[in-house]
């Protein structure tokens, strides 16, 4: 199914949404469409529940921060799969900084962890998410490391983890003890 055919099918279910075809180098394999932010949840529900579409499998969500001066600043990129039709779809939602977006985890429960990752690294808030908190960075971390305006020279030790420091002598002793404890095979 092409992007134009997907838009026609979605427009019948969500008529107030103005979808756009997005060109991509792999459009023949994975059609790409632009979804208005205000119709994200309705579009997700239509993609999942509409006979003939049936995109039941959620694959991925990520974000791109183009530049702090670009409006809208972020693109959210979703990938979904229709196992029955053996089809894939990429859809994007453009949002501005500090503009919340609806969570699709009520439609595709597997999106929950990935939305938490996007929240943690980009600071994008997903409204309606049941457990929106940091996933990868420590709880006391300040900022969102994948934003273009994140300070690159930031030096901060995470308070939740400190690496084990072993001297060269301790390392050799541990290796020798490990070698001696292994059963001999002859």
CATH number for 46: 3.30.460.80
User: Each residue of 3-42: pLDDT tens digit?
Assistant: 999 999 999 999 999 999 998 888 778 999 999 999 999 9
- Asked if pLDDT for residue 65 goes beyond 90, the answer is yes
**Structural domains counted in the chain:** 1
Q: Domain of 55?
A: 3-148
Helix (H) or strand (E) holding 121: helix 111-122
Pick left, alpha or beta for residue 126 (phi over 0 → left; psi -120 to 50 → alpha; otherwise beta). Answer: beta
- For residue 19, tell me if it sits in a domain: yes
In the 8-state DSSP scheme, what is residue 76?
E
Specify the long-range contacts of residues 66-70, CB closer than 8 Å, at least 24 apart: 66/148, 67/148, 68/97, 68/147, 68/148, 68/149
Q: In the predicted model, what is the mean pLDDT of the chain? A: 89
More confident residue, 152 or 85: 85
Whole-angstrom Cα distance, residue 23 to residue 17? 19
Instruction: State mean pLDDT over 46-75.
Output: 94
- For residue 72, tell me if it sits in a domain: yes
- For residue 183, tell me if it sits in a domain: no
- Asked if pLDDT for residue 157 goes beyond 70, the answer is no
User: Each residue of 86-117: pLDDT tens digit?
Assistant: 899 999 999 998 899 999 999 999 999 999 99
Whole-angstrom Cα distance, residue 159 to residue 59? 33
Please, what is the Cα angle at 43 between 42 and 46, to 5 degrees? 85
- For residue 52, tell me if it sits in a domain: yes
């Amino acid at each position: 199914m092409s992007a134009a055919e997907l838009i026609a099918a979605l427009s019948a279910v969500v008529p107030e949404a103005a979808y756009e075809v997005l060109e991509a180098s792999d459009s023949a394999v994975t059609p790409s469409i632009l979804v208005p932010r205000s119709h994200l949840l309705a579009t997700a529900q239509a993609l999942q529940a509409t006979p003939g579409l049936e995109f039941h499998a959620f694959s991925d969500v990520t974000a791109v921060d183009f530049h702090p001066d670009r409006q809208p600043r972020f693109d959210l990129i979703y990938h979904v799969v229709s196992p029955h039709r053996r089809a894939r779809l990429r859809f994007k939602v453009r949002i501005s900084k500090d503009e919340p977006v609806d969570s699709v985890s009520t439609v595709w429960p597997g999106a929950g962890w990935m939305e938490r990752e996007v929240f943690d690294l980009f600071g994008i808030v997903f409204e309606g998410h049941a457990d929106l908190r940091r996933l990868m960075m420590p709880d006391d971390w300040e900022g969102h490391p994948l934003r273009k305006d994140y300070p690159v020279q930031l030096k901060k030790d995470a308070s939740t983890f400190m690496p084990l420091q072993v001297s060269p002598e301790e390392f050799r002793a541990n290796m020798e003890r490990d070698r001696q404890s292994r059963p001999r095979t002859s």
